Amino acid sequence: MKVWLDGKVRDPEQARIPVSDHGLLYGDGVFEGIRVYAGRVFQLPRHLERLRLSARAIGLELPHPLARLHAIVCETLSAFGRDDAYVRLLITRGSGPLGVDPTRCPEPRTICIATEVEIYSPEKRARGLDLITASLRRPAADALDPGVKSLNYLNSVLAKREARRRGADEALVLNAHGRVAEASVANLFALRGRELRTPPPEEGLLAGLTRARVAELASAFGIDTVEAPLRRLDLFASDEVFLTGTGVSLVVGVRSLDGQTLGSGRPGPFTEKLSGAFFELVEREGAPVVGLCASVP
């Protein structure tokens, strides 16, 4: 692991932040998770744009222009030096006195971590995930907007905790109306016939950057993608269910929900084709780390 903090890249033991940081004290901040596959960074400009949007939504001024953040990601990745990496870029509210008042934190803090990530083992990916329906719902957008990628991830943490304690891999998180929102840190899709459905952002989810690319890839296989509300019941009527996200390595199939088999009980043929198409997309479109860092905007 390598960490960019306070102007330079450090080993993790040397990367320390004060306990007065409001990111730690109140989950006050925003972040992005970015992936590098085979030496190529996928969708970095889109991640930086979403970071800017999240920061704006919580009234946090980014401490650096996007071009500088881009350079920070490059510096950290170059120091890490691996072809496969996960980058966690965080902007916290910074240090301030105790008390939630963010106006007393004059200097936001930038942290960039480059490391490895494996949320599910290759065996689990091959056999498909077991999901449970989390008892906690996604908060409504007028409470804590799930569309903002903030450091406040307790809702996802608790959904995942429940899944693990109940012997499952992952949680299905519903919104306040009992309809499907997403998984703990991934978006959800359900295929029935030639129609692929995913809930629209209004259903209470983070509009994933992986999710945004599914429709174009699916259309190459003759599948139409629609954004439409999904009930839990719809998942049982589906041929295939899968999750998408940066952390979950693009696409991962689901085989059961609450102990009940979904589809064929293993990742379906479309899920596998889509997963393959995504890795080809990264190869085609991902920016080589070396070139990317030489041409920082």
In the complex, least distance from residue 53 CB atom to ligand PLP, rounded to whole angstroms: 12
Could you say whether residue 186 binds ligand PLP (CB under 6 A)?
A: yes
Please identify the residue of the shown chain whose CB is closest to the bound ligand PLP.
208
Distance CA 131, CA 88 (A): 26
- Residues 6 or more apart in contact with residue 291 via CB below 8 angstroms: none
Asked if residues 217 and 210 have their Cβ atoms less than 8 Å apart, the reply is no
Q: Where are the beta strands (DSSP E) in the chain?
A: 2-5, 8-10, 29-37, 40-41, 85-92, 109-115, 129-133, 170-174, 180-183, 187-192, 195-198, 224-227, 240-245, 250-257, 260-261, 287-288
In the complex, least distance from residue 289 CB atom to ligand PLP, rounded to whole angstroms: 19
In the complex, least distance from residue 209 CB atom to ligand PLP, rounded to whole angstroms: 4
Q: How far is CA 158 from CA 96, 124, 291, in A?
A: 27, 21, 40
**Which residue number, 24 or 144, has a Cβ lying nearer to ligand PLP?**
144
Residue written as token pair 């012997």: 167
In the complex, least distance from residue 86 CB atom to ligand PLP, rounded to whole angstroms: 10
What x-and-dash track marks residues 200-229 binding ligand PLP by CB under 6 A? ------x-xxxx------------------
**Which residue number, 71 or 144, has a Cβ lying nearer to ligand PLP?**
144
The pair of structure tokens assigned to 117 is 């990530």
| Stretch 237-256 residues interacting with ligand PLP (CB under 6 A) | 244-247
**Which residue number, 66 or 79, has a Cβ lying nearer to ligand PLP?**
66
Asked if residues 251 and 274 have their Cβ atoms less than 8 Å apart, the reply is yes
User: Which of 169, 182, 203, 240 is in the footprint of ligand PLP by CB under 6 A?
Assistant: 182
Strand partners, 143: none
**Which residue number, 77 or 206, has a Cβ lying nearer to ligand PLP?**
206
The pair of structure tokens assigned to 107 is 């200097």
In the complex, least distance from residue 157 CB atom to ligand PLP, rounded to whole angstroms: 11
**Which residue number, 58 or 79, has a Cβ lying nearer to ligand PLP?**
58
Nearest to 127, CA basis, from 259, 249, 266 = 266
Total residues in contact with ligand PLP, by rule CB under 6 A? 15
Phi/psi for 248 (5° steps) reads -85, 15
**For 150, which DSSP code?**
B
**Which residue number, 86 or 96, has a Cβ lying nearer to ligand PLP?**
86
Distance CA 167, CA 284 (A): 38
**Which residue number, 92 or 156, has a Cβ lying nearer to ligand PLP?**
156
User: Which of 172, 185, 235, 289 is in the footprint of ligand PLP by CB under 6 A?
Assistant: 185
User: Which of 76, 156, 175, 249 is in the footprint of ligand PLP by CB under 6 A?
Assistant: 156
Could you say whether residue 33 binds ligand PLP (CB under 6 A)?
A: yes
What is the contact surface with ligand PLP in residues (CB under 6 A)? 33, 156, 182, 185-187, 206, 208-211, 244-247
